[in-house]
A and B are shown apart, each in its own frame.
Chain A
Amino acid sequence: MDYYVAIASIIGIHALLGLSVYVVAISGQMSFGQQGFFAIGAYLAGMSTAMWGLGLVPALVLGALVAGAMGFVVGFPALRVRGLYLAIATFGFGEIVRLAFLNVRYTENIGGRVVGPNGAEGFRHVRYVYDRGFTGLHYLAVILVVLVVVVILFFLLERSKVGAKLRAVEEDETAAAMIGINVTRVKVVAFAAAAAVAGLGGGLFIHYSTYIDHDMVALPLAIASVTYPLLGGLGSFVGTLLGAIVLVGLTEGLRGLQGMREFVYGGLIILMMIFRPRGIVDEALVLRVKSWLSPRAPREPVQAP
């Protein structure tokens, strides 16, 4: 039972990370640095409950806001570069954050435990949730509630004009500008929102695991977070959710795969690039499902007036 609760919790947290990459991707960018925002959210939210006496909800919100603000600040310079250069620049940002937390020491002695970011030791004893009598199952419910809220926001985004503008920018910046879209603003806002979602995931994570260290927010997490949307598909956020469920389920469930995760993910990305570049749930599939669901439009061509 605990085992399945653990897998479900990790799926929920990784789904947020995947959704963060998804937002960046559908505005035409690729980020290998969302784990940096995840780390910022985790450390901030952890300090909030373990050291500053905040409750869980304000701690999660604070972690997300600070990560989002960082996304805004990083977004402007980062978005001047594209494609591979952007991937490298964002990964560089992730590494800077990781190395910063490897070196930052800001601890307090609370009840005989060293609490707070403690360099290479990581940030231990973030026990707010379990100290209040939550079980793993309770906390899984918290994770799922947060995920559902985020998913509702994504659902609304996909239906809104803002979502369509993101996709317009993704496909053709020149054409997007020519219909009145402020391309820079769209990209920066998307990047900041994505950073906030990653930060939210980080805050949930540290309260789930009770600790984090720099090793946990390195390259493997970057690879995992881009694999969910790239495999699941860029046609709808549903693809990212499916990607996270299948991939986390697969790698956590099949013990034999543990050591080969990066290998498997890398291979899947390459297969996708060859056979289905927009992932499983791509735009064409979304359009087909939509027309099944609403058979209102006449199928046969109508004579134009």
Chain B
Amino acid sequence: MTDGAILSIRKLARHFGGLRAVNDVSFDVPRGSIFALIGPNGSGKTTLFNVITGALAPTAGTVVFDGAPISGMPTHEIVRRGIGRTFQNIRLFTRMSVFHNVWVAMRRQPRSGNGARSERERVEELLALTGLSARRDELVENLNFGEQRRLETARALATDPSLLLLDEPAAGMGAVELARLVRDIRRLRELGKTIFLIEHTMHLVMDVADRIAVLNFGEKIAEGTPKEIQADPRVIEAYLGREHANA
């Protein structure tokens, strides 16, 4: 493990029968960075998140988080060690209010005198951070798409993660929401979080990411700074079709 890496993926593989959804993937996510994982549809990005968070067991390889191997641990244990995550297909608790979605996820703080903020105050803070204070008593179904994505982020932050995994946070967002997302991601990094995101929206990735890894058919085909990735012929080849489709 490289010093300064919060997350190290080593020779990780996840197969589904004959399908090699993730195959022999290795990379490091530097602590305090914004790291992006890109790749065409079905290239194994979400599967990689599922393996990191313990939702799926790896077929081979290891995941090291904060210096300790976490592959094979149950999800709730991995969360307690400091990994939070949002889902590509939003998975909020739709029968709870906005407030309760965050409150239920709130990690218990060690009691630290009377200076400690109450749990409710900390929930309100997260709602304010994600711009949802005015919606606190709504049912989730009354939120628009962008608000639901932000609520998922607030809920993940409630577990007090040091590493936050975001699976396509910009999907379905308009220009205004996108600008807000960029601000939010940078803000979270300033708060000391490491951000690891999957994204299809190229200009967002090129704008916010410090480093990028590229998956294609389950294998890592490139890794580097946004500049390096933009110039990489293998990446251009893998993306040619999509770039035109997205233009």
Identify which of B85, B131, B137 contacts A287 (C-beta below 8 A).
B137
- Whether A175 pairs with B97 at a CB distance below 8 angstroms is no
* Complex Cα gap A164–B103 (Å): 9
**Cβ contacts B81-97/A at 8 Å (1 or 0 each):** 00011010001111111
- Whether B95 pairs with A177 at a CB distance below 8 angstroms is no
B128 within 8 A of A: yes
* CB within 8 Å: A-B pair count: 84
B171 within 8 A of A: no
Interface residues of A (CB under 8 A from B): 161, 164-165, 167-168, 171-172, 174-175, 177-183, 235, 278, 283-284, 287, 291, 297-298, 301-302, 304-305
Identify which of A179, A284, A287 contacts B158 (C-beta below 8 A).
A179
- Whether A183 pairs with B76 at a CB distance below 8 angstroms is yes
* Complex Cα gap A287–B139 (Å): 8
Q: Which residues of B contact A278 (CB under 8 A)?
A: 95
- Shortest beta-carbon distance from B8 to chain A in Å: 21
Q: Which residues of A contact B14 (CB under 8 A)?
A: none
Given contacts A177-B76, A180-B105, A305-B128, A168 and B93 within 8 Å (CB-CB): yes
Q: Which residues of B contact A164 (CB under 8 A)?
A: 96, 100, 103-104
How many residues of B are counted as interface, with CB atoms below 8 angstroms from the partner's CB atoms?
36
- Shortest beta-carbon distance from A287 to chain B in Å: 6
Task: Name the residue in A164, A180, A278 with the highest tally of chain B Cβ atoms < 10 Å from its Cβ.
Answer: A180
**Cβ contacts B156-167/A at 8 Å (1 or 0 each):** 101100000000
* Complex Cα gap A144–B103 (Å): 34
B80 within 8 A of A: yes
Closest to A186 in B: B76
6 smallest beta-carbon distances between A and B, as pairs: A179-B105, A177-B75, A304-B131, A164-B104, A180-B79, A175-B91
Task: Name the residue in B74, B79, B94, B105 with the highest tally of chain A Cβ atoms < 10 Å from its Cβ.
Answer: B105
- Shortest beta-carbon distance from B88 to chain A in Å: 12
* Complex Cα gap A171–B128 (Å): 25
- Shortest beta-carbon distance from B132 to chain A in Å: 8
Interface members, chain B 90-149 (any A CB < 8 Å): 91-97, 100, 103-107, 128, 131, 133-137, 139
